[in-house]
């Protein structure tokens, strides 16, 4: 029961923060210069951890090293080598969901307080999901009260994928989308597919070209 209350408290923080901002009809994601800096697939990136000085950079380097060792289903991580604290990530929609066959770009930004503070993760490509807002912000406890300095990025990505597969309409960032999920699931899936066709049809190659991502 205690864990349930902790989970609810964490998710309520998402809702409180979301509703504390002034709403605009169609918020726009404002791309930063970092999104267009050349980046290489982490699998082929060369890193010398011994040359990394700050705690945040050392931990990020360790996370990257772990991702290099084994594949990460549905995610391709790209490292901007001039800035270890900013990643670009391509997510493949999970099979068996309305998102299957489509691709999304996400940004991951680590603060100088990492790993004691969670990274800021956003969907750059718009996605229709009751727990992700129009600005790409994700409401998940792993990025709130459940975050610890030991949380790995592999776990974070897996939790995001699980959220895509299994939304939580009780803590929807959009009350309208949450209600739609509960009352008319077929209509909810139709809305997903409509936005997918509009925003997420680009191939991995096209996304890589647009955002200067390379394999080597």
Is 42 a member of any domain?
yes
Is 108 a member of any domain?
yes
The residues facing 132 across adjacent strands are: 129, 138
Q: And the tokens for 59?
A: 């931990």
Query: Model confidence over 103-150: pLDDT tens digits?
Result: 999 999 999 999 999 999 999 999 999 999 999 999 999 999 899 999
pLDDT at res. 16 = 57
**Cα 143 → chain centroid:** 10
**Environment class of 11 (CB within 10 Å of its CB; exposed 0-12, middle 13-18, buried 19+):** buried
DSSP per residue over 4-53, as a string?
Answer: HHHHHHHHHHHHHHHHTSPP-SS------GGGGS-EEEGGG----GGG--
E strands present in 111-214: 120-123, 213-214
**Environment class of 206 (CB within 10 Å of its CB; exposed 0-12, middle 13-18, buried 19+):** exposed
Residue numbers of the domain that contains 100 = 2-20+30-214
Q: And the tokens for 185?
A: 């699931």
Choose, from 45, 139, 192, 208, the residue flagged as catalytic. Answer: 139
Q: Are 137 and 160 in contact (CB under 8 A)?
A: no
Is 25 a member of any domain?
no
Query: Model confidence over 136-194: pLDDT tens digits?
Result: 999 999 999 899 999 999 999 999 999 999 999 998 999 999 999 999 999 999 999 99
Is 160 a member of any domain?
yes
Q: What is the C-alpha to C-alpha distance for residues 123 and 105, in angstroms, rounded to an integer?
A: 6
Rg over CA atoms, the chain: 17
Q: What is the C-alpha to C-alpha distance for residues 28 and 152, in angstroms, rounded to an integer?
A: 30
Q: What is the C-alpha to C-alpha distance for residues 207 and 104, in angstroms, rounded to an integer?
A: 8
Q: What is the C-alpha to C-alpha distance for residues 180 and 183, in angstroms, rounded to an integer?
A: 5
Structurally, the chain folds into a number of domains equal to 1
pLDDT at res. 96 = 97
Q: Is the pLDDT of residue 1 over 90?
A: no
Nearest 10 degrees: CA dihedral of 48, 52, 158, 9? 170
Is 83 a member of any domain?
yes
**Percentage of the chain lying above the pLDDT 90 cut:** 73
Q: Are 101 and 202 in contact (CB under 8 A)?
A: no
Query: Model confidence over 56-91: pLDDT tens digits?
Result: 999 999 999 999 988 789 999 999 878 899 999 999
- Is residue 139 part of the annotated active site? The answer reads yes
DSSP per residue over 193-215, as a string?
Answer: HHHHHHHS---HHHHHHHTTEE-
Q: What is the C-alpha to C-alpha distance for residues 137 and 132, in angstroms, rounded to an integer?
A: 5
Under the banding of pLDDT at 50, 70 and 90, the label for residue 12 is low
Query: Model confidence over 16-60: pLDDT tens digits?
Result: 555 444 343 344 445 578 999 999 999 988 876 655 678 999 999
State the CATH number of the domain containing residue 46. Answer: 3.10.110.10
Is 203 a member of any domain?
yes
Is 8 a member of any domain?
yes
Is 6 a member of any domain?
yes
């Amino acid at each position: 029961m205690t864990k349930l209350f902790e989970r609810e408290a964490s998710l309520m923080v998402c809702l409180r923060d979301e509703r504390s901002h002034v709403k605009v009809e169609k918020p726009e994601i404002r791309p930063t210069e970092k999104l267009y800096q050349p980046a290489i697939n982490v699998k082929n990136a060369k890193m010398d951890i011994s040359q990394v000085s700050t705690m945040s950079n050392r931990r990020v380097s360790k996370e990257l090293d772990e991702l290099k060792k084994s594949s990460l289903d549905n995610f391709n991580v790209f490292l901007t080598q001039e800035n270890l604290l900013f990643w670009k990530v391509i997510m493949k929609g999970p099979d068996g969901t309305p998102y299957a066959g489509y691709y999304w770009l996400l940004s991951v930004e680590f603060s100088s307080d990492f790993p004691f503070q969670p990274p800021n993760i956003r969907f750059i490509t718009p996605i229709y999901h009751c727990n992700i807002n129009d600005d790409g912000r994700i409401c998940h406890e792993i990025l709130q009260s459940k975050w610890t300095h030991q949380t790995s990025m592999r776990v974070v990505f897996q939790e995001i994928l699980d959220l895509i597969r299994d939304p939580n309409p009780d803590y929807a960032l959009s009350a309208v989308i949450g209600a739609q999920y509960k009352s008319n699931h077929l209509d909810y899936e139709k809305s997903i597919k409509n936005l997918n066709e509009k925003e997420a049809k680009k191939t991995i190659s096209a996304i890589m070209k647009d955002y200067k991502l390379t394999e080597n």
